[in-house]
Every structure is written in C-alpha cells, then in structure tokens.
Amino acid sequence: MKVTVAVIPAAGRGTRMRPATRSVPKALLPVVDRPVIQWIVEEGKRAGVTEFVVVVSPGVDDLLYSHFEGMEGLGELAGLEGLRFTWVIQEQARGLGHAVLQAKEAVDNRSFFCLLGDNLVVPGRDHLAALAEASDGRSVVCLRPLADEDLDRYGVAVVGDTLADRVVEVAGAVEKPGRERAPSRLGFVGRYLFTPEVFACLEGLAPGYGGEIQLTDAIARLGEAGRCLGWVADEDLLDVGNPAGYVEATTALALWHPGLGGRYREFLEGLAGDR
C-alpha cells in the first residue's frame, strides 16, 4: 500500500518528562541537534510521506509551526523542502484516540501512518515501509514482544493467525492490561498504518482506560471486524517519553549522527574505561 500522509499526535502533556516540559512542549525537546518532532517527520519522509497532520494542544501550535516555518529557504532544514503540514488543535485532552479522530477531516478518506511522538527510530532501522508492505488493504499495527513489567505500559494485541513471516492477524486489543489480563505479549509500539476505517471505530467510543478515548479500543474494534493485521518489528523503538528512555534515545541517535558519532563513541568509551 502506498501511504503519503501521516498523523502525528503531539498534544500530550509530557508529564513523565517534568520539569523539562513545564514550558517546552515535549515534541520540541531536543534530541542531539533537532527536536523530537523533526526526527519523526524525517522518518515519515524516508517512507514516502509528503503530508503531515500534526495534532497539537491549544497554545502549542504556534511554537511547533514556527520550527518548520520558512523551511523552503533554510539550509538548516535541508531535505524537508516541499513537505506539507496541517495543524489541528485538540481542544480538550481527552486521550490519544480522541487526538487521532481530530485529524479525520485533514486525512480525508486516505490511509495514513500514525506516528506517536514518544517513539523514535534510528534512521536506517525504520519500520514504516514494512507496515505498508504487510498491508493487504487492512490496517497494520507495529508490534513488539513486551517484558512482563511493560504489559501495563502499552496496548496489547489479541493475536490471531500468522499470515506470513512477522505478519499476524490482530483479533482484538486491550490498553495497558498488565500481566494478569494481557491477551498476549505483543504490544503496540507507536507506529501504525490505518485505513480510514479507523475513524468510524473511533467515533462514538466511550472513554476507556484512564477515562480517556483510547486508540487501542479502536484497534480492538478493527480487529474484531477482521480488519487489522500486526507486523512484528525486529527491534525496539526508542522512547523519549521518560527520562531513562530519553537518555537512551539521545545516546543511540548521537552514535548514529554522521557529524558526531565518532567523537561521542570515544567519549563513551573513555567514560566506561574510567569506571
């Protein structure tokens, strides 16, 4: 499936990253030399996305917008020329599912990637092309095996038949079930390919886990209707939503960075040698 539009829900409050996010939106926190949102936009672009629908909270849109403003003539943002951005405001913080639903009009009946702002990948270790390839016209969610202690931090799939190497049917889903209630160990790790069917599933959803409208509950509906696949990624994504993950992401991306990686590796080796 060819996918040229991506939704980036970027309205989260970044509570796990306080106090860093008291006045800076978490999508603008820097990782090495660029903000989180730019890493995500670059990932989308590598997969062929030309249009980004960014869902932001009130008051944050100007800041995010101004990062990309005037990029056509800017060497600093070379490579991002020609990308189109639509900014959608989520007036009330009613959950991830509600945020994605706000993008419905801008997405306009196309299939789209959904790229969660907490999760980054090291360039070259991307998953989006594989999601698009795995789709037979159905939605495809990116899955990873989770450790027991993470089963209350992620949405978890009800897994059906295996269709191909790494491709399974998703028959349902539970948000943050915990070890006792987990229907499998395969969790949703922040990368999704949705057909427009997901909007009908989101509409009319009652608040779920944590009193919020959950994207996972829409995936459950897709799965129950036989309209969702899962692709099992071969490595974990980085998670900049908490301080430990943020440091790990900074390390992984600094080591990758063409201009910094060599020096940073030496620095880390020196630190490790001192211990």
Q: Which residues bind ligand G1P (CB under 6 A)?
A: 96, 116, 118-119, 154-155, 175, 187-190, 214-216, 241
Nearer to ligand G1P, 116 or 232 (CB): 116
What is the smallest separation between the CB atom of 95 and ligand G1P, expressed in angstroms? 8
Q: Compare residues 116 and 120 and give the one whose CB is closer to ligand G1P.
A: 116
Q: Write out the H or E segment, with its range, that includes residue 272.
A: helix 261-274
Structure tokens at 94: 């009613």
Least distance from ligand G1P to the Cβ atom of residue 189, Å: 6
Terminal Cα-to-Cα distance of the chain (whole angstroms): 50
Residue sitting closest to ligand G1P (CB): 155
Identify which of residues 25 and 155 has a Cβ nearer to ligand G1P in the complex: 155
Burial of 46 (0-12, 13-18, 19+ CB in 10 A): middle
Closest CB 57 distance from ligand G1P, rounded Å: 14
Name the residue type at position 125. Answer: R
Q: Of the two residues 61 and 212, which places its CB atom closer to ligand G1P in the complex?
A: 212
Minimum gap (Å) between residue 43 Cβ and ligand G1P: 15
Nearer to ligand G1P, 150 or 260 (CB): 150
**What is the rounded distance in angstroms from the CA atom of residue 97 to the CA atom of residue 108?**
17
Minimum gap (Å) between residue 246 Cβ and ligand G1P: 13
Say which amino acid occupies 256.
W
- Coil, helix or strand for 271? helix
* Burial class, 147, CB count within 10 angstroms (exposed 0-12 / middle 13-18 / buried 19+): exposed
Distance CA 244, CA 87 (A): 30
- By C-beta, is 169 or 175 nearer to ligand G1P? 175
Q: How far is the CB of 37 from ligand G1P (least distance, A)?
A: 16
Pairwise CA distance, residues 90 & 95, whole Å: 10
